Structure 1
Amino acid sequence: MSTEHTYFTVSINPHESNSELSVLFSGEGKPIALHNTGPGVHDYYLVHTVHSGNGTFEMHNRTYHCTAGDTFIIYPGELFRYTADAENPWHYSWVAFTGYAAGVMLSQIGVSPQNAVITGSVPRSMRHYYRRIRSSFQQSMYPALEDMEAAGWLRLLLRELGRAGAHQVKTKPATETEIQRQVSQAVRYLELQYTQVVSIEQLARTLGYHRTYLCKMFKQATGLAPMQYLFKIRMERARQLLETAMTIDQVASSVGFNDALYFSKQFHKWSGSAPSVYRKELTGKGS
């Protein structure tokens, strides 16, 4: 369990899909008081529904004060931040997803980057849908079917949100060996959770493998230990974000580093240049 949460669970979709709507992962947590995420950006949609407690959500130059029954939506590429209340920190569930129809579906239930909160849902009902999404992922031999099931529950969740916010409204066959499939699941977990605090114990527990076995098969397949692979993902993503106008602090937060100075040291170790120097070198090449 993360030290920043009194309760935390997440389930990963092992299937990569280019469908109109595909769940990436879903979880539930009770962060500690004043727990903060961001400022940062994601490259997917991320929906949170508050079951109890309070917190604030910031995006697109707006600040929302959220409580039980409220749902806030993070859009790809939009800078965001959310923080648990000091006195009564929230308990929430979340689901991340992509798909070429995702943006249209969200607009159909009345949300947008400029209006990214829906109020009035029933916490118990919403929690049920999130649980069904997570339970879809059983790490079976049929990940495409799990993806379909999760997408179906996500549609029902979005329908429920649409009802609550009515006033706002205007696969491929598995061909991998068992070990390849297991490594692919671990890689996908790291690719989707690199913005979070990740430990080898948490990775092994989530995927249902012994730590030693997971490390051994992962390194045999990729040439890197899981945490080395995670570091590589974070640095490559950071390099992409340094090509944008984001600050070093924002880049660090977006790739899983709470300390910008530590991030800068790690990036320098990986690339041979500090983030600020790397950015200047990019500017020089472009001139």
Structure 2
Amino acid sequence: MDSGHKDTEVKYTESPKYQCLEFLRKNSVELYLAYCGREICEAGHTYGPAVRQEYLLHYVISGKGTFTADGKTTELGAHDAFLIMPEETTVYRADAKEPWSYVWAAFDGIRAYECLEHAGFSAEQRVGHFEQEEALTACVDAMLAAHQLTYANDLVRQSQLALFLAGMIREYQTSHNTRQQFNDYHRQEYADYAAAYIEQNYHKDISVNDMCSYIGITRSYLTKIFKQVHHVSPYDYLLGVRMNKASLLLQTTALPIKQIAEMVGYKDALVFSKAFKQKIGTSPRAFRDSSATLVLSHTKNA
């Protein structure tokens, strides 16, 4: 297969032993499919030395072969996958007696390497093993079937690429018991996701456990990474957001305290008042009745 063609037309090739969809238009900056295909290789069939512009994953359905990257040759068989990195020279060769058949998907985007990392691949680790043959090959077949250039098919190919990668990620994390340590996103993204969830839902009766259930991680893990990123616990962050909103409403409106309590996520006005006093240092009523005075000074405090 040659992916170096610079034509502006998308190319779809189909024969009894070979299917390939190439030169797809870039339709996302995050993650997009460049080309995909499947092939039943002839004995000893060799591709390369060649250089790719995108990340390229081959998944072996049957047979055997070898993959050479960065001077290292690896023997592969059924249900193995191998990764080709952009801008590197690689060679792969079908076995002379039991030639392999495989499917492939080439993709790129700002999330491409992140997805690969979650599936166990890296610049140092190019080979993985995945037993979900039926699910993974079905994704590539669906991409190939959606070769007509319509908006709907663009979405089909994009979704099938995501499912293809998600299947590998799920199997890798399950088989390597990495969910607790690696999860589905990086630490920063998890913590930011939780913070965004709070900002969007502080007015509801939510708890830290609700956040964990929504995001899909344990409370202890969320608390750990949230403190590392935001330097407070998720509960203190939620409390801070609620009290900041309540303070603004107390200062700028004449709404009853009970209504303000409900607007920041408290069904019980007494519980709200207790939390407000704990955080702000005074009751909601006293806070509303107080007036701030600006003091100007030319002297630096010691």
| Contact 2:37–2:105, Cα closer than 8 Å, also in 1 | yes
Write the distance in 1 (CA, Å) between the matches of 2:73 and 2:177: 18
How big is the shift at 1:70? 0.8
Larger radius of gyration: 2
Write the distance in 1 (CA, Å) between the matches of 2:82 and 2:135: 16
Write the distance in 2 (CA, Å) between the matches of 1:66 and 1:6: 24
| Contact 2:19–2:37, Cα closer than 8 Å, also in 1 | yes
Write the distance in 2 (CA, Å) between the matches of 1:24 and 1:80: 18
Candidates 114, 138, 142, aligned match of 2:148:
138
**2:101 matched residue in structure 1:** 91
**1:56 matched residue in structure 2:** 66
What is the SS of the residue equivalent to 1:128?
A: helix
- What amino acid does structure 1 have at the position aligned with 2:99? P
Higher RCO (Cα < 8 Å, 6 or more apart): 1
How big is the shift at 1:36? 0.7
**1:253 matched residue in structure 2:** none
What is the SS of the residue equivalent to 2:106?
A: strand
| Contact 1:52–1:90, Cα closer than 8 Å, also in 2 | yes
**2:134 matched residue in structure 1:** 124
| Contact 1:51–1:124, Cα closer than 8 Å, also in 2 | no
**1:163 matched residue in structure 2:** 170
| Contact 1:57–1:81, Cα closer than 8 Å, also in 2 | yes
Candidates 1, 17, 25, aligned match of 1:15:
25
What is the SS of the residue equivalent to 2:56?
A: strand
- What amino acid does structure 1 have at the position aligned with 2:112? A
Between 156-165 and 75-84, the greater mean CA deviation after superposition: 156-165
What is the SS of the residue equivalent to 1:158?
A: helix
Task: Please tell me whether residue 29 in structure 1 is matched to residue 34 in structure 2.
Answer: no
Question: 1:192-271, aligned counterparts within 5 Å?
Answer: none
**Cα displacement string for residues 212-247 of structure 1 (whole angstroms, at most 9, x for unaligned residues):** xxxxxxxxxxxxxxxxxxxxxxxxxxxxxxxxxxxx
Write the distance in 1 (CA, Å) between the matches of 2:162 and 2:57: 13
How big is the shift at 1:168? 8.8
What is the SS of the residue equivalent to 2:39?
A: strand
Write the distance in 1 (CA, Å) between the matches of 2:25 and 2:50: 26
Write the distance in 1 (CA, Å) between the matches of 2:177 and 2:127: 10
Candidates 103, 111, 118, aligned match of 2:121:
111
Write the distance in 2 (CA, Å) between the matches of 1:120 and 1:48: 12
Give the total of aligned pairs.
165
Percent of pairs identical after alignment? 30
**2:161 matched residue in structure 1:** 154
TM-score by length of 1: 0.53
| Contact 2:26–2:33, Cα closer than 8 Å, also in 1 | no
| Contact 1:9–1:28, Cα closer than 8 Å, also in 2 | yes
- What amino acid does structure 1 have at the position aligned with 2:158? A
How big is the shift at 1:13? 5.9
| Contact 2:19–2:144, Cα closer than 8 Å, also in 1 | no
**Cα displacement string for residues 71-95 of structure 1 (whole angstroms, at most 9, x for unaligned residues):** 1111101221100001000010111
What is the SS of the residue equivalent to 1:37?
A: strand
Between 118-127 and 96-105, the greater mean CA deviation after superposition: 118-127
Cα distance change, pair 130–53 in 1 and its aligned pair in 2 (3 A)? same
**2:297 matched residue in structure 1:** none
| Contact 2:85–2:123, Cα closer than 8 Å, also in 1 | yes
Cα distance change, pair 6–64 in 1 and its aligned pair in 2 (3 A)? farther
What is the SS of the residue equivalent to 1:89?
A: coil
